[in-house]
Amino acid sequence: MKQQKLIDGFPYLKYSKESFDESVILEKTTSFYEWLNNRRTVREFSDKPIAKEVISNLLLSASTAPSGAHKQPWTFCVVSDQELKSKIRIAAELEEKESYENRMTDEWLKDLAPLGTDWHKPFLEKAPYLIIIFKRNYEINEDGKKQPNYYVTESCGIACGMLLAAIHNAGLAALTHTPSPMNFLIKLLNRPENEKPFLLIPIGYLAEDCWVPDIHRKDITQIAEWY
């Protein structure tokens, strides 16, 4: 039986969680970092199917993210239909081609060169699922009036981070894809006016022969300041 009481007229649950000795905490944080550091963005997917229940669990995990005023300002659109994936690829490649050829600076293209990216996006058709995260900038109540959401970008960013960790935990691969602008996704998926595309994540098993750039993450001295 959960313990509950009212605080300022709102129901609260008694919350507790397991705590550990410092040595255990150090071991757990070290092993978690080493496991997470093995996660990589990939562009070579297998078309091996994934059970719908697996995707549902991944989205439920992402939805545990904190959000401004607990508004949960996100919608996860899951695309597996091959025809729709093809339409998304065509539209995304049009935007990407324009970006690579006319929008990106020479410095930007130089920074991308070691990653081997270009405007061709075959993974949008090959991956069995595309998860498109839409941020809900506001809600529309039954009277048709707008109700604000808060810290929408931050909340969706946290949810996406938790989604990527959940995908990695499942032994699956993912890619964070941001064709810009992404408004074509609103039309293709027939989304309401209060939603804007935030991130497109192809998800699947690794291709049998998958290669990733030999890149290295910044060490602790480069990412943290201690006061």
* Domain architecture of the chain: domains with CATH: 48-207 (3.40.109.10)
- What 3-state DSSP class applies to 180? coil
For the stretch 44-99, pLDDT in tens is 999 999 999 999 999 999 999 999 999 999 999 999 999 999 999 999 999 999 99
Alpha helices per DSSP H over 120-217 = 123-126, 152-169, 184-189
- What 3-state DSSP class applies to 193? coil
Q: What is the mean pLDDT of the chain?
A: 95
- 202, containing H or E segment: strand 195-204
Residue with tokens 């695309």: 79
Residues 33-41: what's their mean pLDDT? 96
pLDDT of residue 2: 80
- Give the integer Cα–Cα distance in Å for 207 and 142: 46
pTM of the model: 0.94
- Residues in the chain, total: 227
DSSP state, residue 101 = I
CB 147 within 8 A of CB 138: yes
State what percent of residues in the chain have pLDDT above 70: 100
For residue 181, say if its preceding peptide bond is cis, omega within 30 degrees of 0.
Answer: yes
